[in-house]
Structure 1
Amino acid sequence: MSVNSEAAILIDARSGDVLYKKNEEKEMAPASITKIATGIIALESGRADDQVVVSRNARQTDGTRIFLAEGEQKPLEDLVYGLLMNSGNDAAVAIAEHIDGSVTAFSQRMNRFAQSVGANHTNFTNPSGLYEKEHVTTAADMAKIAAYAMKNEKFREIVRTRIKPWEGKEWKSELVNHNKMLVSYQGANGIKNGFTSQSGFTLVTSAERNGTELIVVLLKATSSNQIYKDAIKLLDYGFSHYKTVPVLKAGAKISEGEGSYYASETVYASIPKDDMFKVRIVPQNGLIVETTSGLTREYPSVLTKEQHLEAGAPAPNEQTDAVDTASKYSLPEFFMLFFWWLMIVFMSWMMILLLKKERV
């Protein structure tokens, strides 16, 4: 199987498993798929009802706009809709200035975010994706950023929205999602497309069917028509050949030899549709999944080694009735209990006095 876009990757959204790749580590210009990072950072760093004041700088931003007016105030969440659906560069700058005071400072935040999700070959210099020589990413990095963003329910809601009314100071119309996959592909649920003359056509798109969610990243296609053909081809391939399975639940214990480990999170794997699987531990405290057709997948950072416990001490996820009082109660609860104890002592003392009086 081949695609015409210069770089491409297909991953399983839950496991991160790579199902197809082409030039996936090549550094290239991303165009407006940059806004995926801007959008998720905005949702995590600000409050939905924050009032964003549009600056002259944001108003005069080049490229695709949602026609924000200088001095206009809009809730942050509305600007994220305009950013991700209608690809508003003016919304991107307004968001950046609201959160960090300047495009430069926000770009630094974007790069810290990229590093935090493992996008180590990405360098953002602006929040919109307008072409700049040093503004680069890779297909593999954008897949990681997209997979992280799609774990946020508000982000998912925004990128799957097709049409939304827009009431602006200078523009009263509708936001229309530019991602054509939402209307042309069964199960499509996001996320963002882009274009500049230097980057060509770019696309990050996702779809979910029968419990399997896939993400495709495509960089530098020669036409809009071609990039959507590539996306459909890769998604069809993924859904036809693979399924997502939970291989270990969060908190589950697994032992190998003398060592025991706990899953720090639910572990998923993407395996061939007709395969069964088994799991075992690798020496580096990782998990390995082997399927009946010979496919091997490794997950090096999902297990926590069981600590040596003193006799009688509870293992993780095991309940015990022996709970230390200091950790069981908060400070207000402790004072409340102390007050009730004093009241009981006082009432007992009064009862004793009354009984003595009656005897006299």
Structure 2
Amino acid sequence: MIFVLQHVFRVLLVIVFLSGLVGHPTNMQAAENRQDPQELDIHAKSAILIDGLTGTILFAKNENQTYYPASITKIVTGIVALEASSPDEIVTVSKEARYEDGTRVFLAEGEQVPMMKLIEGLLMNSGNDAATAIAEHIDGSKEVFAQRMNQLVTEKIGLKNTQFRNPHGLFDSEHYTTAKDMALIAQYAMKNPDFRRIVSTKTKPWNGEEWKSNLVNHNKLLWTYDGATGIKNGFTDESRFTLVGSAMRNGMELIGVVMKSATSNESYSDITQLLDYGFGNYERKQIMAANETKTYSAGEIITAFVTKDPIIVTVRKDEVLQVTLDEVGNLSVKEGVNPSRIISRLSPIEVAEPKPTPDPELEIKNETNVWRILITVLWFLMNLFIGMVAWAIKEKRKTS
């Protein structure tokens, strides 16, 4: 009986020790599911995938090469209109707008239309006539409005490889952009709630003087991809098929761009691949909370830094993340074998006795060590008790 108790107790002890590994799996399973960018079969001449919040590039192919954008130009027209006008402003449609080439929402000459309705026709149904009407209302002409578009992307977004000549995207040899620039433009535009609402709307009634129907969003991604949130597709003979697509899953929104696809199906296939790759291989991690303090120590000198907003990074699911802080407040991250990159510059603050942020993993480790010490002591006491009982029984047998 004594030996049975010893065996059972030792088995229980082994289980307790091994339980320290539960909840801390290795990266082996994640590595098995890892997909490298080289495995993607992207047919478009240029493509990019970014995190819509952090702007981190998750995949890129010829992302800085200039191409003709076609109707994804209307992303810029739409956000400019939302920022430069009121939704209830009444726009009078000109003859030039009425007879604009390409895709239309069939505006009538002299028709008076609320600005928001025109923006919906612009972004959902890709109305070139709506684009011209918007431009003429805000700046008097398409040419002057294009200058406003260029000012937005250069001054507010900081782009250098994009130039617009019109508000609709019909071919002009001096009207060009890049996949990377379009991703950043889309990221900027999606911060506007009205823009976000419009590009995610599938259908909407349209009651115009010459056309009474339903607007049907030309972006097929809204029907074919789970979690799709936008944004815009385009086509001209010179640009071929262009597409800016976005989707959100588990609180993470990704934005993909493909330019100069040979066919429409190819453009949607490429975007689907990009989004699947991003959601399957990346996640967001919060490095610091709002108003959190970190300290840098150099000998006896301790400098404290604070962040105003939460700091979030987009990293591969199977990579170990290392975070460092230097003496001037540069917060850097390093993923696996990748070089370190600075993600934020923290503000210095004066504190009497800065306290380092507790390390949750260290606390868990310390707690585990305490339990292991207690178990070891119990092991010793149990063996001592069992030994004493065995000795007592042996002595009793001698005397009897």
| Structure 2 counterpart of 1:162 | 202
Q: CA shift at 1:152, angstroms? A: 1.2
Find the residue that maps to 2:271 and give its secondary structure: helix
Provide the C-alpha distance between the structure 2 equivalents of 1:127 and 1:142, rounded to a whole number of angstroms.
Answer: 15
| Structure 2 counterpart of 1:198 | 238
Q: CA shift at 1:118, angstroms? A: 2.3
Per-residue deviation, residues 261-303 of structure 1 (Å, max 9, x unmatched): 3334333211112445342235775431234x34456345x43
Q: Which amino acid aligns with 2:45?
A: E
| Structure 2 counterpart of 1:349 | none
- 8 Å Cα contact 2:106-2:129 kept in structure 1: yes
- 8 Å Cα contact 2:304-2:350 kept in structure 1: no
Listed as ranges, the matches of 1:120-269 within 5 Å are 120-257=160-297, 258-269=302-313
Find the residue that maps to 2:280 and give its secondary structure: helix
Change (3 A) 1:197 1:305: same
Find the residue that maps to 1:130 and give its secondary structure: coil
Q: Which amino acid aligns with 1:210?
A: N
Find the residue that maps to 2:129 and give its secondary structure: helix
| Structure 2 counterpart of 1:346 | none
Among 10, 31, 35, the alignment partner of 2:74 is: 35
Q: Which amino acid aligns with 2:139?
A: D
- 8 Å Cα contact 2:306-2:349 kept in structure 1: no
Provide the C-alpha distance between the structure 1 equivalents of 2:227 and 2:160, rounded to a whole number of angstroms.
Answer: 30
Change (3 A) 1:264 1:118: farther
Structure 1 vs Structure 2 CA RMSD: 1.9
Find the residue that maps to 2:218 and give its secondary structure: coil
| Structure 2 counterpart of 1:14 | 53
Q: CA shift at 1:45, angstroms? A: 1.4
Q: CA shift at 1:104, angstroms? A: 1.3
Which structure has the larger Rg?
Answer: 2
Q: Which amino acid aligns with 1:262?
A: V
Find the residue that maps to 1:203 and give its secondary structure: strand
- 8 Å Cα contact 1:181-1:205 kept in structure 2: yes
Which has the higher mean CA deviation after the structures are superposed, 271-280 or 177-186? 271-280
Q: In the alignment, does 2:331 pair up with 1:287?
A: yes
Per-residue deviation, residues 38-87 of structure 1 (Å, max 9, x unmatched): 11111111111111111111111111100111111111111111000000
Q: CA shift at 1:91, angstroms? A: 0.7
Listed as ranges, the matches of 1:40-189 within 5 Å are 40-115=79-154, 116-189=156-229
Provide the C-alpha distance between the structure 2 equivalents of 1:24 and 1:228, rounded to a whole number of angstroms.
Answer: 18
- 8 Å Cα contact 1:32-1:128 kept in structure 2: yes
Q: Which amino acid aligns with 2:205?
A: P
- 8 Å Cα contact 2:91-2:114 kept in structure 1: yes
Change (3 A) 1:44 1:112: same
Provide the C-alpha distance between the structure 1 equivalents of 2:327 and 2:232, rounded to a whole number of angstroms.
Answer: 40
Provide the C-alpha distance between the structure 2 equivalents of 1:136 and 1:284, rounded to a whole number of angstroms.
Answer: 40
Per-residue deviation, residues 12-58 of structure 1 (Å, max 9, x unmatched): 11110001100000011000001111111111111111111111111
Provide the C-alpha distance between the structure 2 equivalents of 1:269 and 1:49, rounded to a whole number of angstroms.
Answer: 39
- 8 Å Cα contact 1:5-1:221 kept in structure 2: yes
- 8 Å Cα contact 1:288-1:296 kept in structure 2: no
Find the residue that maps to 2:232 and give its secondary structure: strand
Among 271, 277, 280, the alignment partner of 2:321 is: 277
Q: CA shift at 1:246, angstroms? A: 2.4
Listed as ranges, the matches of 1:324-335 within 5 Å are none
Provide the C-alpha distance between the structure 1 equivalents of 2:340 and 2:129, rounded to a whole number of angstroms.
Answer: 43
Find the residue that maps to 2:287 and give its secondary structure: strand
Provide the C-alpha distance between the structure 1 equivalents of 2:172 and 2:251, rounded to a whole number of angstroms.
Answer: 39
The normalised TM-score by structure 2 is: 0.73
- 8 Å Cα contact 1:271-1:295 kept in structure 2: no
Among 263, 286, 306, the alignment partner of 2:348 is: 306
Find the residue that maps to 2:113 and give its secondary structure: strand
Q: Which has the higher helix share?
A: 2
Find the residue that maps to 2:206 and give its secondary structure: strand
Provide the C-alpha distance between the structure 1 equivalents of 2:293 and 2:174, rounded to a whole number of angstroms.
Answer: 46
Q: How many residues align?
A: 308
- 8 Å Cα contact 1:286-1:298 kept in structure 2: no
The normalised TM-score by structure 1 is: 0.81
Which has the higher mean CA deviation after the structures are superposed, 18-27 or 272-281? 272-281
Find the residue that maps to 1:306 and give its secondary structure: strand
Change (3 A) 1:296 1:208: farther
Provide the C-alpha distance between the structure 1 equivalents of 2:350 and 2:151, rounded to a whole number of angstroms.
Answer: 36
Provide the C-alpha distance between the structure 1 equivalents of 2:179 and 2:319, rounded to a whole number of angstroms.
Answer: 28
Find the residue that maps to 2:103 and give its secondary structure: coil
Change (3 A) 1:252 1:170: same
Provide the C-alpha distance between the structure 1 equivalents of 2:265 and 2:248, rounded to a whole number of angstroms.
Answer: 22
Provide the C-alpha distance between the structure 1 equivalents of 2:190 and 2:275, rounded to a whole number of angstroms.
Answer: 17
Per-residue deviation, residues 174-232 of structure 1 (Å, max 9, x unmatched): 11000111000111110000000000000000011112111100000000011111111
Provide the C-alpha distance between the structure 2 equivalents of 1:73 and 1:37, rounded to a whole number of angstroms.
Answer: 23
Change (3 A) 1:122 1:297: farther
